[in-house]
Amino acid sequence: MHEEHTKHCVIYCRVSTKEQAEEGNSLITQERLCREYAATNGYTVAEIYIEQGESAKTADRTELKKMISYCTTKKNQVKAVVVYKIDRLSRNTDDYSQIRMMLKRYEVEIKSISEYFEDTPAGRFMENIIANVAQFDNDVRAERCAGGMKEAVKEGRYVWMAPYGYSNVKVNGKSTIAPNELAGLVQKVFERIATAQLPLEEIRQEMIAVGLRMPNGNPMSVNNFHKLVRRELYCGVIKKFGSEYEGSFESILSKELFYKVQDIINGKRTRARTAHDTDFPLRRFLYHPQGKAVTGCWAKGRLKKYPYYMVHGFKVNIRKELLEETFAGWLDNFKFDISTFEQLRKQIEVTLNGYELLTPGFKQQVENQIKQVKEKQSAIINKNIQGVIPDELCREKLQELYIELHTLNQQINQIMQPVKDLSAVLDTARKVLLQPGQTWKNANYKDKLLLQSFYFPDGIAIYKSGSRTPKVCKLLKVKSDFRVSKSLNVDIRKNKSNILHKQISLPWQELKIIEEENKKDSSLTTMETVQELLVLSELFKMEKDRLN
């Protein structure tokens, strides 16, 4: 008789590595608290399902499937699924609704030990709100993650799982990749393909014999081998978000070797690509209004070859020296004079000294506000449960508080850490900002790419009626002489080249900055200026570290 009245439950625990490190919701803690809840509420724990390192974005999880299968088998007589929080089950409202409906069909309840809700209209309403908050939090995290990844690739950093021959590392506190002990094998694979006239499968077998194996010790499969020989990352090129970026990490291969191997695999005649890739820094940075990227080539003349930038299919052909001189001129329109920069330096130093004193107090103030908002949330929920306020008003107030809480959390995340070695940061900025055009011309190929992306994050469109860019870096707005919608005319008439002189009247040499005109204030705060200076300094620091 006793067994017939025993209430059986299952415990489901889940944690991802990131959450375990940041929030302390360890699997051991979750299991212990869930067991205590079950014992207190008269449940007998039938099974425990542990999901480690799995994301709640999807319901396609091994242990979750096993748990649902067990609960939906009538002979097991499960009455409840006990979890630490709703978001342990799912961070997607659609998935959570399906899981709940499936369990309800077999009279199985979901019990969250840290979130209270009953099987009443008010309780189900609160359950839906909690599930929505879990998805909202997940969506915000995903948006931040995508934004961070885009910024990383613009800086030349690869922040995904490192491919064969690379390891995930941190340089100056930022994630990127670096060659490891397997990089030599990658180099040998490409050299062997380039020199031996053998099928890829024979080369794969040869390389397996000398140690080409996966981390688990198994020989590299055909599929993984083909991915390896096609991966442009090995020559320092990152292809992400529909664009191509130059990596700031150390490349295993030269571009010449990589593209030579691609031609061999494709059955084409090999051709040198070094000039095509490194002699034209503005290639793919500039583009035609219809979206087609500007490329570069060497045109054969009667006595020698001449470099040109061009857009295929649109009859755009511009001599390399003319276009690059024009671009340097656009940069020089933003240059600082010494007195202006020294005023900026003084303002930054004074502001940061005061900021370092105010930051702890400001952070504590925001944390107190967060605490107050959470207390308001609890009070509203309790009043709704007690019937003091109706469901509709409860939902409106909670939504307002969730938005306020999200804003406060953003303020905490945006509090800037103390600037290390401010003098070095300002010295680097001084070299660049006093002569931006000359700095760009004197820079090596990789530094040119970094500077271009820093000044004009979205590139520049070459229009016949005048070139345009939708965005310039915030630092350029410090100079009040060059604000939104200014036209930047480049005067290069002093250049002795006759070819340049013949083309100086072309309208495309005028650069127009087209930004949102409805912005009330395009000025830049001192703290935003410091952030931009840190980015600029970091670009040069990364390249210096790479060379060392």
Asked whether the beta carbons of 500 and 454 are under 8 A apart, the reply is: no
Question: For 349-356, what is the mean pLDDT?
Answer: 60
What pLDDT score does 539 carry? 64
What pLDDT score does 280 carry? 87
Instruction: Give me the chain's average pLDDT, please.
Output: 76
Which residue in 16, 55, 114, 522 is the catalytic one? 16
Closest of 499, 495, 155 to residue 329, by C-alpha:
495
Percent of the chain with pLDDT over 90: 10
Percent of the chain with pLDDT over 70: 72
Going by pLDDT thresholds of 50, 70 and 90, the confidence category of residue 304 is confident
Asked whether the beta carbons of 399 and 411 are under 8 A apart, the reply is: no
Which residue segments constitute the domains of the chain, with CATH numbers given?
3-149 (3.40.50.1390), 155-278 (3.90.1750.20)
Most confident of 47-51, 300-304, 543-547: 47-51
Most confident of 210-214, 524-528, 544-548: 210-214
Question: For 477-488, what is the mean pLDDT?
Answer: 43
547 versus 433: which is more confidently predicted? Answer: 433
Strand (E) or helix (H) holding 6: none
Q: Hey, which bits of 411-544 come out as E strands? A: 460-461, 467-469, 487-489, 510-513
Is the confidence at residue 185, as pLDDT, over 60?
yes
What pLDDT score does 498 carry? 32
Is the confidence at residue 294, as pLDDT, over 90?
no
Q: Is the dihedral of CA 205, 207, 208, 209 positive or negative?
A: positive
Strand partners, 81: 10, 110
Is the confidence at residue 518, as pLDDT, over 60?
no
Q: Is 339 designated active site?
A: no
Going by pLDDT thresholds of 50, 70 and 90, the confidence category of residue 10 is very high
Give, in order, the Cα–Cα distances in Å from 242 to each of 121, 238, 245. Answer: 47, 10, 10
486 versus 87: which is more confidently predicted? Answer: 87
Closest of 88, 18, 80 to residue 46, by C-alpha:
80
Question: For 183-189, what is the mean pLDDT?
Answer: 91
131 versus 544: which is more confidently predicted? Answer: 131
Going by pLDDT thresholds of 50, 70 and 90, the confidence category of residue 486 is very low
Is the confidence at residue 538, as pLDDT, over 80?
no
Is the confidence at residue 487, as pLDDT, over 90?
no
What pLDDT score does 525 carry? 60
What pLDDT score does 545 carry? 47
215 φ/ψ angles, rounded to the nearest 5 degrees: -55, -25
What pLDDT score does 234 carry? 94
Structure tokens, 133: 């908050």
Three-class DSSP category at 446: helix
The string of pLDDT tens digits covering residues 33-52 is: 899 889 888 899 999 998 88
Three-class DSSP category at 315: coil
Structure tokens, 314: 């649109």
The string of pLDDT tens digits covering residues 398-453 is: 777 777 777 777 666 555 455 566 777 788 778 888 888 898 988 888 788 888 88
Instruction: Say if pTM beats, i.e. exceeds, 0.85.
Output: no
Q: Can you say how many angstroms the Cα of residue 245 is from the centroid of all Cα atoms in its chain?
A: 13
What pLDDT score does 16 carry? 72
Is the confidence at residue 502, as pLDDT, over 50?
no
Please give the full DSSP string across 371-384, using - where no structure is assigned: HHHHHHHHHHHHHH
What pLDDT score does 270 carry? 43
19: exposed, middle or buried (Cβ count in 10 Å: 0-12, 13-18, 19+): middle
